[in-house]
Amino acid sequence: MAIEVRDVTFSYDGQPIVEDVNVTVPLLDLAAIVGPNGGGKTTLLKLMMGLLQPNTGEVRVFGQPPRAVAPRIGYVAQGFSYDRTMPITVLDVALMGRLGRARGRAAGEGKHSAVDALERVGMRDLADQPFAECSAGQQQRVLIARALVTEPDLLMLDEPTSALDVTAEREIYQLLSELNDHTTIVLVTHDLGFVSGVVKSVLCVNRFVRRHPTTEMGELTSEILEDLYGSDLRLVRHDRNEGTWCCRD
């Protein structure tokens, strides 16, 4: 198992955010965490990485406490967790992925892997540009590149495509799909429809958490949406590619 979450409860200011969470993410899974705003998606992701400590229960990543395996986890935070105004180049942001490694001859190698990662997200040409002058979408790609530079066994992404247009979004999911051959991936998203083609399981979070492997279900069903939003919703099917589920209240 890549991630095991056992009996985890986490509350903030006495307010439970997630409760009685029992969920596992198998190795080489590509799991999407979905749910309504304020439902605890980011909280669950941070609990899995050890950035938040559960009030009760425990989390294991690769069989160990998450902090012990932190170097094996690549993390792409949601847009607003970093300083957007700091003078720093795109390449230097990507190079941060080399932090915590042994020094020495690694320096040149590090630059090579950073340039490589920027290439994969289509940002190589802008390597010397100030990060602050990049568009929100470009910044997000750079942050993904930075996570790739860490050469993670587990990649955690918090709404990685929220600032991207449709084409860029598809490219990122294509990239994630390729990485998934040797990397377990967990991502928070609110656009379930778009990821439905590539994800292997869906973690529904609305204070409680349920996992739905997409292979068993064949396709995403209204069951998931009921989990998330209760029964008082209407399903709308968009005919974009194979079909996309949306929900409205």
Partner 1 sequence: MTEFLRAVAEHGFLQYALIAGVLASIACGVVGSYVAARRITYIAGGIAHSVLGGLGAARYLQVTQGWEWLHPLFGAVIAALLSALIIGMVSLRWRESEDTAISAIWAIGMAAGVLFIARTPGYAENLMSYLFGNILMVTPTSLWLMATLDLLVVALGLLFYKQLVAISFDEEFARMRGINVEAFYLLLLCMTALTVVLLVTVVGLVLVIALLTLPIAIAGHFSRSLRQVMAISAALIAVLTVAGLGVSYNADLPAGATIIVLTGALYLVVIGAASLRSSLRRSRAASATVESGSSR
Binding residues for partner 1, rule: CB under 8 A, are 49, 51, 70-71, 73, 75, 77, 81-83, 86-89, 92-93, 96-97, 99-100, 128, 130, 146, 150
Q: Least distance (Å) from partner 1 to the CB of residue 50? A: 8
| Helix 136-149 vs helix 106-120: crossing angle, to nearest 10 | 140
Q: Which CB, 144 or 204, lies closer to partner 1? A: 144
Q: What is the closest distance, in whole angstroms, from the C-beta atom of residue 153 to partner 1 in the complex? A: 13
d(Cα 63, Cα 84) in Å, to the nearest integer? 36
Nearer to partner 1, 92 or 226 (CB): 92
Nearer to partner 1, 51 or 198 (CB): 51
Nearer to partner 1, 158 or 227 (CB): 158
Q: What is the DSSP letter of 70?
A: G
Q: Which tokens in the block code for residue 180?
A: 């998934």
* Cα separation, 103 vs 166, whole angstroms: 40
Query: At CA 28, angle to CA 23 and CA 32, rounded to 5?
Result: 55
Alpha carbons 73 and 2: distance in angstroms, whole number: 11
DSSP 165-229: -HHHHHHHHHHHHHHTTT-EEEEE-S-HHHHTTT-SEEEEEESEEEEEEHHHHSS--HHHHHHHH
d(CA 238, CA 83): 37
Amino acid, res. 112: H
Instruction: State the nearest-atom distance from the C-beta of 48 to partner 1, in Å.
Output: 12
Cβ distance to partner 1 smaller for residue 86 or 235: 86
Residue 149 C-beta: closest distance to partner 1, Å? 10
Nearer CB in complex with partner 1: 17/49: 49
Least separation in angstroms between CB 72 and partner 1: 10
Q: What is the DSSP string of 164-183?
A: S-HHHHHHHHHHHHHHTTT-
Q: Please, what is the minimum distance in Å from the beta carbon of residue 95 to partner 1? A: 9
